[in-house]
Amino acid sequence: MKRMQMLLVLTVLIATMACAQQGPEGPDPNRPGALELIEYDVPDQVDIDYEVLDDIDTSSSEFGVVSLPADVGRTLTGLFTKYTKHVAPNGKPIHILGQSRVSDLQMARAREILRYHLADAPGTRYGSGKSEVANRMGDVRATLIYTDTQARAFAMYDILEPSDLAIQDLYATESPVEGDYVYVHNEAPEGGFYTRDASYEEIMHLVHAKGIEEALPEYHAAIERAEKRAVEAGIYKYGRTAPHEYIISGFDIYFGLWDHDPQGNGGSYGDEYPYHTRAEMQAGDRPLFDLVEEFWPEYLTYNAYLDPSFEGTFVMVQDKAVEYTNKSRFLVDVTLTGDKDTSVSGNDQDNLLTGNVGDNGFTGGAGNDVIAGAAGSDRAFFAGVASDYQIETKGEITIVTDTVDGRDGTDELTGIEVLVFHDKEVELE
């Protein structure tokens, strides 16, 4: 016998029950949806076909995001509409379930960030081999529930608690896509209260709780020791022991999420932490700085799908006049979506820049870049005069090498129609 499950959720009272539930000044009782009646048509007993869930094919989708199949069971289909996954080395999936207001690009971005957290970081103390972390997550059915709002996430915990899924939530209102309005302007979205992206945090909480604690206990223990030291020194003021929160605070600061100083107080998370830049953290809380560098690479090496609404040039070097570059400077790979005539300006890393169906412009900058123009009439820009460069064609690939050291490096181009140098343009056949 199935019934309508109805949960009354008072989010103000439970806001402190989960991470990232409060903004710089604490929970906001006046935000929209503070008191919300949630209705879901789900069965009394958990109804999930795990064989179907574990075998969902996402390869047919452009972004690897598909509709949740009906035969996965009424529990999940009564709550979610979308699905994507990351498959651990042992072949077991780590699931991402999304509601209807979560866009396909948000789903894809969550998956790419999950992959980033789980990607080996060669040469690091704890992150050089993360296979066991991912395998552990697959073994315990680690699952990210990507909900429309905070209230909807809390409503689902009671429903999903009897299941075999080990869940962590993320809200659509706290996770902008690169290039969308919220990302570009460092603003909180409608219905949200964050000035920074919480995607990295919530996904890392899933990795930490369901993978690291068992697979990398020495790393978890090192985080606990560093947190205790920071609390005793009066640096970290979270209010309770929370190593998951401490390490991700370091991540957020390391990767520039607070570098624009949205609170105007030179700190992060209200009065919780006194530093908001990588350099400040290195000087003031070196153990936390080291723990970040011992697990992650120095740059965000996932594929960032740029929101189709973005217009102009997406900049990947820090420019204080361009608000979002506090975080975009750490990206490496960017893929344009939609059909706008968008341009991308890379940084000093070996960038992978991919175009859309519009007429795109690409500036690789320093580093050895791979640029794929895709459809449209696309142009690649270089800093020097044409005579400074060697141009070689290998099949469909054009290789442009800057003979001046430390400037444009060697770029591999496909789908580019015009090379633009400081003194002239060269059309490619």
pLDDT tens readout for residues 267-285:
898 889 999 999 999 999 9
- pLDDT tens per residue, range 77-108: 999 999 999 999 999 999 999 999 999 999 99
pLDDT at 68: 98
Which residues are paired to 354 by β-bridges?
A: 335, 372
Distances (CA, A) of 177 to 99, 172, 318, 351: 16, 10, 18, 19
Question: Does the pLDDT of residue 193 top 70, yes or no?
Answer: no
| Co-location of 282 and 308 in the same domain | no
Q: pLDDT band at 194, cuts 50/70/90?
A: low
Tokens standing for 43?
A: 């069965």
Closest listed residue to residue 84, CA positions, set 12, 136, 3, 144 = 144
pLDDT at 293: 98
With H, G, I as helix, E, B as strand and everything else as coil, classify residue 412. strand
pLDDT of 1 higher than 70: no
Do 366 and 414 reside in the same domain of the chain? yes
| pLDDT at residue 8, as a whole number | 30
Asked if 338 and 246 sit in the same domain, the reply is: no
Same-domain pairing of 242 and 209: no
Domain boundary among 188, 215, 242: 215
Mean pLDDT across the stretch 161-167? 96
376 shares its domain with 352: yes
In the prediction, which pLDDT does 204 show? 98
> Cβ distance 102 to 82 under 8 Å?
yes
pTM: 0.90
How confident is residue 35, by pLDDT bands cut at 50, 70 and 90? very low
Given the DSSP bridges, would you call strands 418-420 and 425-427 parallel, antiparallel or unpaired? antiparallel
**The domain boundary residue, chosen from 192, 215, 238:** 215
Domain region containing 48: 2-215
- Interhelix angle 104-118/131-139, nearest 10 degrees: 130
Longest dimension (CA), the chain: 78
Same domain, 211 and 225: no
Spatial distance between the Cα atoms of 111 and 105, rounded to a whole number of angstroms: 10
What is the average per-residue pLDDT within 43-49?
A: 95
Question: At residue 237, does pLDDT exceed 60?
Answer: yes
- Is there a single domain that holds both residue 91 and residue 115? yes
Report whether 71 contacts 184 (CB < 8 A): no
Q: What is the pLDDT of residue 23?
A: 36
pLDDT tens readout for residues 326-364: 999 999 999 999 999 999 999 999 999 999 999 999 999
| Number of structural domains in the chain | 3
Same domain, 304 and 408: yes
